[in-house]
Chains A and B, each alone.
Chain A
Amino acid sequence: MSLFTCPFCGSRNLEEFSFHKTLPNVAGGAFEEIYLRRDAPSHSDEHWQHRYGCRAWLRVQRNPSSGEVFAVELLTGTKP
């Protein structure tokens, strides 16, 4: 049980969010993205959905070892 702040909804139970996948971090196509990516234990760039809340898609950058969240970007409804 933890809290996470959705940029739209505010403080919510972490369980409402669903991890989808990490962003590609290596140049190339599908093969490179799946088999040749490099993941660092201290930094992960991820796509989450607030599935059991407002269903917004988020880009979450965090430290997967400690759980510390560096940045949360709201993707749904915003212009790039």
Chain B
Amino acid sequence: MSLSACEWVDFDGGDANSDLALAIAPARWLVVAPQEAWLAERTQAALAGLGALIDVSGRWVPVEIAPDSPALSAAAPLELYLRDRDVAALWMFDCPVLIVRCNGEIRLLVEASYAHSLRAMLARL
């Protein structure tokens, strides 16, 4: 089902202060299944005006995909897109996704309302 997640939007030139943070946009990080300790620390940082914490639970849904799936190379030149980074925000078959490379594996997150269509599309390939 959909994931519990938060976005940290930075105002001050800092980062999200977490190894799990995914850099999805300039000055914006996504943390999936955030820990209480991190949430508390970030809330303090927000109070100090360093940034804003926004709960985006329910937005992203994981989609299972084999690393050698033809779907990945049918959508975009992922080796090029992930050459210097581990996270890429893009639209795959007109669905907004995040592609995350973690320990050599590829994980795919899609916005919840598109999940059904994206899965059908991948099955069709």
Q: Decide if B89 touches A78 in the complex (CB within 8 Å).
A: no
Q: How close is A11's CB to chain B, nearest CB, in angstroms?
A: 6
Chain B residues, CB < 8 A from A53: 88-91
Which residues, 10 to 46 on B, are CB-close (under 8 Å) to A? Answer: 10, 13, 24-28
- B105 interfacial by beta-carbon distance below 8 Å: no
- The residue in chain B whose Cβ has the minimal distance to the Cβ of A54 is B25
Q: Decide if B81 touches A9 in the complex (CB within 8 Å).
A: yes
A-B contact count (CB 8 A): 47
- A55 interfacial by beta-carbon distance below 8 Å: yes
- A77 interfacial by beta-carbon distance below 8 Å: yes
Q: Decide if B25 touches A11 in the complex (CB within 8 Å).
A: no
Once the chains are docked, how many angstroms separate the CA of A52 from the CA of B81? 13
Of the A-B pairs whose beta carbons lie under 8 Å apart in the complex, a sample of 29, sorted by A's number, is: A7-B26, A8-B25, A8-B26, A9-B85, A9-B89, A10-B81, A10-B83, A10-B85, A11-B83, A12-B81, A12-B90, A13-B76, A16-B90, A16-B91, A53-B88, A53-B89, A53-B90, A53-B91, A54-B26, A54-B89, A56-B25, A74-B26, A76-B26, A76-B27, A77-B10, A77-B26, A77-B28, A78-B26, A79-B13
